[in-house]
């Protein structure tokens, strides 16, 4: 009696093709892995974070210990000096004791009652009287400003402008330029032909932009966290409260601003087939990232210029947070600026994708921009 034998089928169902979202993420993962394996990227990021932490701690500790000025004073003068900030008043009985402390170097100056002086007070110092002591004893007239904001130049505005501008510029250059170089390298090695046979050019572009945007934004978040920790450690909580909202808006504007720039850097790389030919295509993009940095430094105290910069897509990440920190922007202005930035992103990404798609497989001489747009 024969037994039926089961026959196992060797036919295998082919795996389903990845969706567009899966393909984009695969390319993004490839970009992330390439960056995270790079020792140069990891070392530069560590140096940047440690440098930012050291700068915040140094500024905080120097501001906190920025020193009280020890000054000796007789009883009649001591009360007036104690009302001034930055002075450590040591009360003495007479002029002789005050002079002794100045000579011994225990105080920077002494203020004693002197009926012969026109002001009734004499300041005694070794070689030069501290300006803070003179200012505390001086009579100043009442000042009323009709336009309190006019002509005001805050050192803090200058410092914050440099910080926001430098962070945006360095991140754009650190992540934008490698996108261009990666696209050119793929064209030189003909790897792009294999990639395009598997996934559409627009998907490849989206994956590159997504991967580098994740890294850039992660770096910004780490820097913000470092700044917050440094400000808390140094006791600058009031300054942190004022800086909190501008830092959040900076991260939001940076996200979309970088996406816009990343698409342009990728499109610039697709126009050439050799690294040595990338100069003319990269130069305009470098100018676009440098302009906000220098405009904020040189014209940061100009309200009209800063208002314009806060609505220009390439400088909104720097201009709007500064205006928010100094309460120069209405509550709706960052929302309107974000709408302008999002609209610019959609337009630039569409143009960048068209340039990228039409130029990616063209080898040899540099592709002209008008030819890339025609397709």
For residue 87, the cross-strand partners are 69
- Summarised one tens digit per residue, pLDDT across range 301-323 is 888 989 998 999 888 988 999 89
| Least trusted range by pLDDT, from 32-46, 136-150, 188-202, 249-263 | 136-150
Domain limits of the chain?
69-137, 153-374
Residues in the chain: 375
Q: How high is the pLDDT of residue 56?
A: 79
Going by pLDDT thresholds of 50, 70 and 90, the confidence category of residue 140 is low
Residue 151 has pLDDT above 50, yes or no: no
Report the 10 Å Cβ neighbour count for 363.
14
Q: How high is the pLDDT of residue 337?
A: 95
Residue 264 has pLDDT above 50, yes or no: yes
Report the 10 Å Cβ neighbour count for 248.
14
Contact 86, 69 (CB under 8 A): yes
Alpha carbons within 13 A on the beta-carbon side of 73: 22
Cα distance between residue 173 and residue 46, in whole Å: 17
**Cα dist. 67→64, 70, 88, 110, 367 in Å?**
8, 9, 9, 17, 62
- Give me the architecture of the 69-137 domain, per CATH: 3-Layer(aba) Sandwich (3.40)
Q: Mean pLDDT of all residues in the chain?
A: 82
- Summarised one tens digit per residue, pLDDT across range 13-30 is 665 667 888 889 999 999
- Summarised one tens digit per residue, pLDDT across range 53-79 is 887 777 766 655 555 788 888 887 887
Residue 36 has pLDDT above 80, yes or no: yes
Q: How confident is the model over 164-190, as a mean pLDDT?
A: 86
DSSP helix/strand/coil, 182: helix
Q: How high is the pLDDT of residue 265?
A: 92
Residue 111 has pLDDT above 50, yes or no: yes
Residue 338 has pLDDT above 90, yes or no: yes
């Amino acid at each position: 009696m024969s037994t039926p034998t089961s026959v196992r089928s060797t036919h295998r169902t082919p795996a389903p093709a990845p969706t567009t979202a899966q393909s984009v993420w695969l390319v993004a993962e490839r970009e992330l892995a390439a960056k995270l394996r790079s020792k140069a990227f990891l070392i530069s990021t560590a140096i940047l974070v440690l440098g930012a932490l050291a700068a915040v701690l140094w500024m905080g500790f120097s501001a906190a210990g920025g020193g009280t000025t020890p000054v000796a004073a007789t009883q009649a003068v001591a009360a007036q000096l104690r009302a001034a900030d930055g002075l450590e008043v040591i009360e003495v009985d007479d002029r002789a004791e005050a002079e002794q402390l100045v000579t011994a170097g225990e105080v920077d100056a002494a203020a004693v009652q002197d009926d012969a002086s026109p002001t009734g007070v004499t300041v005694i110092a070794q070689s030069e009287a501290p300006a803070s002591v003179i200012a505390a004893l001086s009579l100043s007239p009442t000042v009323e400003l009709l336009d309190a904001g006019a002509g005001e130049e805050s050192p803090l505005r200058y410092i914050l402008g440099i910080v926001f501008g430098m962070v945006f510029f360095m991140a754009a250059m650190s992540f934008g330029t490698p996108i261009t170089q990666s696209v050119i390298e793929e064209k030189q090695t003909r790897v792009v032909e294999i990639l395009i046979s598997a996934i559409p050019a627009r998907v490849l572009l989206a994956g590159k932009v997504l991967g580098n945007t994740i890294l850039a934004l992660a770096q910004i978040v780490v820097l913000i966290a470092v700044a917050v920790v440094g400000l808390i450690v140094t006791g600058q909580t009031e300054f942190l409260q004022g800086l909190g909202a501008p830092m959040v808006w900076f991260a939001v504007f940076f996200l979309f601003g970088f996406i816009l720039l990343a698409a342009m850097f990728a499109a610039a790389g697709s126009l050439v087939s050799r690294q040595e030919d990338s100069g003319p295509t990269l130069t305009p993009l470098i100018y676009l990232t440098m302009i906000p940095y220098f405009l904020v430094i040189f014209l940061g105290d100009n309200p009209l210029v800063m208002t314009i910069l806060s609505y220009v897509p390439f400088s909104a990440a720097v201009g709007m947070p500064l205006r928010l920190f100094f309460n120069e922007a209405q509550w709706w202005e960052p929302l309107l600026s974000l709408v302008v930035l999002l609209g610019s992103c959609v337009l630039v990404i569409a143009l960048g994708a068209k340039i990228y798609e039409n130029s990616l497989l063209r080898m040899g001489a540099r592709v002209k921009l008008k030819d890339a747009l025609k397709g």
